[in-house]
Structure 1
Amino acid sequence: MKQVTKVVFLLNITKVGDNVCYYASNLVAVDIPKGITIIGTGSFIRCSSLKHITFPKSLKSISSFSFYDCFRLESVDLLHTNVLALGEHAFRDCTSLREMTVPDSLQKLGLNVFGNCSKLVPSTIDVGILRGRGGYDEYDEDVPDVTSEVVAYLRSIQ
């Protein structure tokens, strides 16, 4: 997969397959097409050149390890999607990640979603409040659903 530089998705699919671009180290940008609702487990794991991702409004779930170790990824904008859940370690080790926006629809974060994203700070991520709730700090113990109270708080700090 190291030689892959561009991904073209077939029409009428609703899921980006598990491990579809595993270790595609030359992949720089991905445009996830409309109609996709799920990004599968490990879909873009270790895509070390990946800097830009465009997500469709139809997106509802980013599975575990989807963007794990995409260390050149600097920002993720999910604001105009319908994402309900971010799986375990979905953005772990994205060490250049500085900015993340999430929609009001977000309900659940898996364990360690932003683990080792040291440049991601609460002032640049609306989910900074989730430190201690499983999403940010690798030492968190429990992963409860994001409550409406937390979502309301996130809206208030924008």
Structure 2
Amino acid sequence: MSKFDTNGSAYVVRPYIKDGYYTDGTFYYDIDKTDAIVIGTAKNERTLVIPDAVGINEVTYPLTKVQNLGVFNKETYETSQKVTNNDNLTSLTIGGNVKSFGKDVFFSEVIYPSGYKKDEDDKMRRFPNLETIIVISGNETFDSRNNCNAIIQTEKGELLLGCKNSVVPSGVKKISAAAFRGCQGLKQLTFPTSLNIVAPYAFSDSHLQTVDLPVDIYHIGREAFYGCDSLVSVSLYCNGVSIDSRAFQHCSSLKDSVSEVRFYTPHISVQSAEDVFDEGCNCLLVPKGQLSTFESWNKCFLTIKEMNN
């Protein structure tokens, strides 16, 4: 049974015991001393609202951690606490007391062949069809300011998870690894002037059509926009930026005759042009008087021209 507390300000659930664990028919819960934890769902839900607290035997436990948002399995939880997926999930609301998420709640690790070095940032979304993300107002650790449809770590200004309807709001300094990776339906985003870092795999395999990165960007991680097959326009307005390997590779539409990549600075730090872009991209526009600086980029671009201003 679920209900609001006496003053109507907190969402409190009153679970019953099933299979040795507390459940309200939507979530399964575990109790860790004074706090409650979400350890799974009863089934693959389309809409999940994580409560503020769990009430058991006249004791109210604040719900401070989300361990798993996939279907709960008692044996799996007790042996490995392995996290599971939910491809049906389209709407997620985070309660006001949540302070942490389990390591794999939102992402699953990519399995590497034997002998390959594991990349901690190389991970896949568990909920590719998310359309709405809300953090309840008053949460002191996370927020979704200005109805941005994203989870932001408030103190760091880091966007941890987005969806196809996300807006990147002012104050965000970093877009976390894989935050929008494989995000279905994501076509347009405007980036705030506060943004400094786009982490590895942040937008890879999404359907962004344009990327306009602001003046304070100084780092773009490996494969950040890898496989964005609808991308036709890239503009770097920054004063100087380092770009890691494969950041814009496998972006097939950059080879279209109408596509353009614009660098408003000559201070682009890369291992090599071909380490960042594929061969056969259409056009690179560079600052006036800097054509010689980008001479080696003709390995990737059919045309390199100076901008008028």
Task: Give the counterpart of 2:201 among 62, 65, 74.
Answer: 65
Residue equivalent to 2:307: 157
Q: Whole-Å Cα distance in 1 between the matches of residues 197 and 305 of structure 2?
A: 20
Residue equivalent to 1:5: 131
Q: CA RMSD in A?
A: 3.0
Task: Give the counterpart of 1:115 among 218, 228, 249.
Answer: 249
TM-fit CA distance, 1:97: 0.4
TM-fit CA distance, 1:3: 4.4
Preserved CA contact (<8 Å) 2:159 2:174: yes
Residue equivalent to 1:16: 159
CA deviation map 1:91-116 (0-9, x unaligned): 00000100111113232001011110
Percent of residue pairs bearing the same amino acid type? 23
Task: Give the counterpart of 1:84 among 214, 218, 223.
Answer: 218
Tell whether 2:273 aligns with 1:132: yes
Amino acid at match of 2:131: T
Q: Whole-Å Cα distance in 1 between the matches of residues 128 and 231 of structure 2?
A: 22
Secondary structure in 1 matching 2:166: strand
Preserved CA contact (<8 Å) 1:63 1:90: yes
Residue equivalent to 1:93: 227
Q: Whole-Å Cα distance in 2 between the matches of residues 63 and 136 of structure 1?
A: 17
Q: Whole-Å Cα distance in 2 between the matches of residues 84 and 69 of structure 1?
A: 22
Q: Whole-Å Cα distance in 2 between the matches of residues 111 and 59 of structure 1?
A: 20
Preserved CA contact (<8 Å) 1:29 1:53: no
Residue equivalent to 2:172: 36
TM-fit CA distance, 1:48: 2.2
Preserved CA contact (<8 Å) 1:52 1:73: yes
Residue equivalent to 2:49: none
Residue equivalent to 1:146: none
Specify the structure having the higher radius of gyration (Cα): 2
Q: Whole-Å Cα distance in 1 between the matches of residues 191 and 305 of structure 2?
A: 21
Amino acid at match of 1:124: E
Q: Whole-Å Cα distance in 1 between the matches of residues 252 and 197 of structure 2?
A: 24
TM-fit CA distance, 1:126: 1.5
Tell whether 2:186 aligns with 1:50: yes
The structure in which a higher percent of residues are strand is 2
Give the structure, 1 or 2, with the largest relative contact order (CA under 8 Å, sep 6 or more): 1
TM-fit CA distance, 1:30: 2.1
Amino acid at match of 2:159: V
TM-score normalised by length of structure 2: 0.39
TM-fit CA distance, 1:73: 1.5
TM-fit CA distance, 1:52: 1.2
Gaps of at least 5 residues in structure 2 are 1-126, 135-142, 146-153, 280-289, 295-303
Describe the shift of the 1:53–1:6 C-alpha distance in structure 2 as closer, same or farther (beyond 3 A): farther
CA deviation map 1:25-83 (0-9, x unaligned): xx43321111111111111110021011121100001000000100x2111111x3411
TM-score normalised by length of structure 1: 0.72
Describe the shift of the 1:48–1:10 C-alpha distance in structure 2 as closer, same or farther (beyond 3 A): closer
TM-fit CA distance, 1:89: 0.2
TM-fit CA distance, 1:137: 2.8
CA deviation map 1:114-147 (0-9, x unaligned): 11002114961125x9772522138xxxxxxxxx
